[in-house]
Amino acid sequence: MEIKVLNISGKETGRTIKLEDSIFGIEPNDHAIYLDVKQILANKRQGTHKSKQRNEVSGSTRKLKRQKGTGTARAGSIKSPLFRGGGRVFGPVPRDYSFKLNKKVKQLARKSVLSYKAKENAILVVEDFNIEAPKTKEFVNICKNLNVADKKALFVLSETNKNIYLSSRNLQKQSTISASMINTYDLANAHVLVFTESSVDVLNKMFKVS
């Protein structure tokens, strides 16, 4: 599909760029998207949760009362989960939530999200730009010119640009990422994807489009 290239003023440059159908025009696979997003969120979990079991809480090990004749249930330890301050039964323990996902599935998931965005006309392409010094106001003006100031917008750059990153990091809805670092979760979470011209070439190389 062909898409018009805009400048940072939001006006058409008179040029168009081709978005490859093998990346932006495939039949989306919802299950691949689900698996990739699940893995990304699982890998972010620290897994450091912990509660003490009955062998870990502090307390005496003496028998609380005699075995028979009290009219109540047997009780052998103050550490029992039945008593306040006792250990917890089957409580959480530190664990690793990450799991493996094949590269081809992850690649299919990213292509599927990009194809969904293309169908929804939620993709913009702007000519390569730079910000001379970190200035949030200047980045906000660019967003206003592109009509994405009130939307969740993900700016995909050809490579990491420190000034653009510093200018956008304080904004709640807008964020930046390099084309080689895109992931399914960030793509799906954005309402609009803003690609620079050179970032499209990086995507083509990454997905090995001839």
The rounded distance, in Å, linking the Cα atoms of 114 and 125 is 13
Measured in residues, the chain has a length of 210
- Which are the contacts of 178, defined by CB distance < 8 A and separation ≥ 6? 156, 157, 158, 159, 160, 199, 202
CB 110 within 8 A of CB 183: yes
Q: What is the pLDDT of residues 30-79, one digit of tens each?
A: 999 999 999 999 999 999 999 999 999 999 989 999 999 999 999 999 99
The rounded radius of gyration (Å) of the Cα atoms in the chain is: 27
Domain ranges of the chain: 2-45+98-206, 48-96
Choose among 162, 154, 207: nearest CA to 180.
Answer: 207
Full-model pTM:
0.83
**Fold observed for domain 2-45+98-206:** Ribosomal Protein L4; Chain: A; (3.40.1370)
Q: How much is the mean pLDDT over the chain? A: 92
pLDDT tier, 192 (very low <50, low <70, confident <90, very high otherwise):
very high
pLDDT tier, 210 (very low <50, low <70, confident <90, very high otherwise):
very low
Tell me the DSSP string of 9-41. Answer: TS-EEEEEEEPPHHHHSS---HHHHHHHHHHHH
Residue with tokens 């040029």: 15
More confident residue, 35 or 160: 35
Once rounded to an integer, what is the mean pLDDT over residues 128-156?
A: 92
CB 199 within 8 A of CB 157: yes
| Predicted local confidence at residue 209, as pLDDT | 64
Q: How much of the chain exceeds pLDDT 70, in percent?
A: 99
| Predicted local confidence at residue 87, as pLDDT | 94
Quote the tokens at residue 85. Answer: 């301050």
Q: What is the pLDDT of residues 92-119, one digit of tens each?
A: 999 999 999 999 999 999 999 999 999 9
Write the DSSP symbol of residue 66. -
**Helical residues (DSSP H) of 45-194, grouped into ranges:** 103-119, 136-145, 162-168, 184-189
CB-CB neighbours of 2 under 10 Å: 7
| Predicted local confidence at residue 208, as pLDDT | 79
